[in-house]
A and B are shown apart, each in its own frame.
Chain A
Amino acid sequence: MEPILKVENLVKRYSKRNFAGAPQDFLALDGISFTISEGATLAIVGESGSGKSTLASCIAFLEKPTAGNLWFEGRNLTLAAESDLRKIRPQIQLIFPDPVSSLNPRWTIFDLLVEPLILQGRLGRRERITRSFSLLERVGLSADMAERPAAELSGGQRQRLAIARALTLDPKLLIFDEALSALDCSVQAQIANLLIELQDSLGMTFLFITHDLTMAAHLADEIAVMSHGRIVEHGPSTKVLRNTSHEATKELLAAVPQLPRAPWPATQR
């Protein structure tokens, strides 16, 4: 299948100066290449500091990569003009790690949902309202919450709202930057199910950035392991987990806390 996103030799260098004023460069991304085909889920896992989040912001074009190419649906984003980027950006949505700080707590849920539509000048007033209500239901929030401020939502509800907000503009690619890590285990499971369901019904492409290898294995078809700004291992989830070849993957795998699962009788449901 045609890849929806093709990342070619992406480099991001942050330059800063030390106390003496000598330049001290930090290579956050050191030649990243991968492709995602339409409707697939790729998980990028790695320790903190491995460059995962920088990669996310580069793909969402919030940061300009230092070198390399970024192809989205066959168009090279690094060469695109700002006016074109404005049209492409809505199709790539980023969901941030902390639902508490990424949503303005004083805005009502409804305001938060229609803002992207207003900014992009899409739909009429009435259609915006119906659209935001249908999105609320889609992500499992009740429509009568629409007038409440975001501050009153629980962590899981906020993350649902953040997902609904990302969906308003019909994106083709959704990037989740540690979108589940701040949530409780049982809420994580609820949101994970929501994601699977959304992908089945809308056929979107997911890029899942996380340090949780378990969740990555559960949600993604493919896993790419990052370490020090490079992809050190990439392949189908089961293969990466079964025949781990790189140290970084082994380390991550060994660090996953596991429940001692005794074969307890399945609960009666």
Chain B
Amino acid sequence: MASVLEVQDLHVSYRSREVRSRPVLSGVSFDLMPGEILGVLGESGSGKSTLAASVLRLLPPNGQIVKGAVLYEGHNLLQANPEELRQIRGGRIALIFQEPSLALHPTIRVGEQVRQVLAAHQSSKKFDRNRRTREVFTQLFPEDTDRILSSYPHQLSGGQRQRALIAQAIVCSPSLVIADEPTAALDPVTQMEVLGVFRALREKLALAMIFVTHNPALLSGFADRILVLYAGQVVEWGPSETVLKSPHHPYTKALFESIPTISVENEKSCGNMLPVIPGNSLPSSLPRKGCSFEPRCTVRMDVCKEFEPVLVKLGERHVVSCFKYKE
């Protein structure tokens, strides 16, 4: 089966006043099958949002794609002209932002905001646009469709706003949705509800999705595959079951261990220290030799200081970049 999206050896860097170019993504490659959900896991500064933005070429002015290719249904988006890009953004590939209250226009009714997306991408009649908008809203808000259609963003709760954004994203029936931390601003109950919406959509529409998050627990039972980013590099990529249950890269392991669990069975874990990853994850702007996780790694070896590890294939679809493993 042909993949929807294929990212090959993507290098992105940012210019800043101090440094001419600071690499943010170095050599990221992955592919995405139709209907697949890819969870991109990383902490702040790991380049996960940059990855989401560079797929659509929405990098800020100081960001630059140095090399690589982003193939969407076989076309390289990095060589697409502005008109092609305009058609693809929002039409074929939709992006859902982190902060639903900032991503919606505050003084336009949400129904109209969704209709405008349709108008920008399809030359359909007004009647059809209204019908399609209503159709999407009935799907997302089965209860009070009419009220929500004619509400302003401030009249909606956080979860409803996030769903309105989802409506905007899916109204043109895209084949790929990129969601950048869509639940970060929500409380757990609403977060669960929004995740449920994503799950339902995937079953109905067979959407491929890139779900960017910093919380690995969200991906369990949701993502098909997980891509773990650390300092702009893929450190582990594999089926979500495998990655979550038996992570191989020292970073992934340490990250999962640092998350407390609700221990209902055993006597309380309260007051115990959590195992932490020592040091900071801020990538240094200086180019350095060796593995990027080496300074914080607890199982480092001599070779890690000198050479950069390459991705090692462990299973059918499971790769890890660490010298501890051999093919």
Interface residues of A (CB under 8 A from B): 47-49, 154-157, 184-190, 192-193, 196-197, 211-215, 217-221, 237-238, 241-242, 251-262, 264, 267-269
Contacts and interface: CB of A to CB of B under 8 A. Distances in A.
B188 A189 contact: no
Interface of B is mostly: loop
B299 A267 contact: yes
Contact of A256 (B245, B257, B262, B277): B262
Nearest to B46: A184
A215 B43 CA distance: 18
Contacts of B130: none
Nearest to B274: A189
Nearest to B216: A259
B285 to A, nearest CB: 12
A258 B261 contact: yes
Contacts of A237: 268, 270
B47 interface: no
B92 interface: no
A221 B192 contact: no
Interface in B226-254: 241, 244-247, 250, 253-254
A257 B217 contact: yes
A124 B256 CA distance: 46
A154 B280 contact: yes
Contacts of A193: 273-274, 276
Nearest to B259: A185
A254 B192 contact: yes
Q: Which of A242, A255, A257 has the most CB of B within 10 A?
A: A257
A218 B216 CA distance: 18
Nearest to A222: B270
B216 A213 contact: no
Contacts of B188: 47, 211-213, 252, 255-257
What 3 A-B pairs are tightest by C-beta distance, nearest first?
A189-B258, A257-B217, A218-B260
A251 B187 CA distance: 12
A258 B262 contact: yes
B269 interface: yes
Contact of B259 (A253, A259, A262): A259
B111 interface: no
Nearest to B219: A257
B189 to A, nearest CB: 5
B327 interface: no
A128 to B, nearest CB: 28
A196 to B, nearest CB: 6
Interface in B23-52: 43-45
Contacts of B257: 267
B190 interface: yes
A218 B266 CA distance: 13
Contacts of A268: 298-299
Contacts of A190: 276-277
A217 B263 contact: yes
B244 A251 contact: no
A189 B261 CA distance: 12
B187 A262 contact: no
Given A212-B188, A214-B262, A262-B245, A257 B220 contact: yes
A260 to B, nearest CB: 5
Q: Which of A221, A242, A258 has the most CB of B within 10 A?
A: A258
A255 B192 contact: yes
A259 B256 contact: yes
Given A48-B187, A252-B189, A254-B192, A241 B264 contact: yes
A203 to B, nearest CB: 14
Contact of A47 (B189, B216, B273): B189
A251 B272 CA distance: 26
A140 to B, nearest CB: 10
Nearest to B280: A154
B268 A238 contact: yes
Nearest to B244: A260
Contact of A259 (B250, B261, B269, B280): B261
Contacts of B245: 260-262, 264
A209 to B, nearest CB: 12
A154 B188 CA distance: 25
A177 B315 CA distance: 44
B85 interface: no
Q: Which of B158, B244, B264 has the most CB of A within 10 A?
A: B264
Contacts of A264: 245-247, 253
Nearest to A218: B260
Contacts of B158: 48
A255 B275 CA distance: 24
B191 interface: yes
Contact of B270 (A185, A187, A220, A256): A220
B305 interface: no
Nearest to B247: A264
B202 interface: no
B282 A154 contact: yes
B45 A154 contact: yes
A258 B271 CA distance: 20
B3 interface: no
A206 to B, nearest CB: 11
B215 interface: yes
Contacts of A219: 270-271
Q: Which of A214, A237, A259 has the most CB of B within 10 A?
A: A259
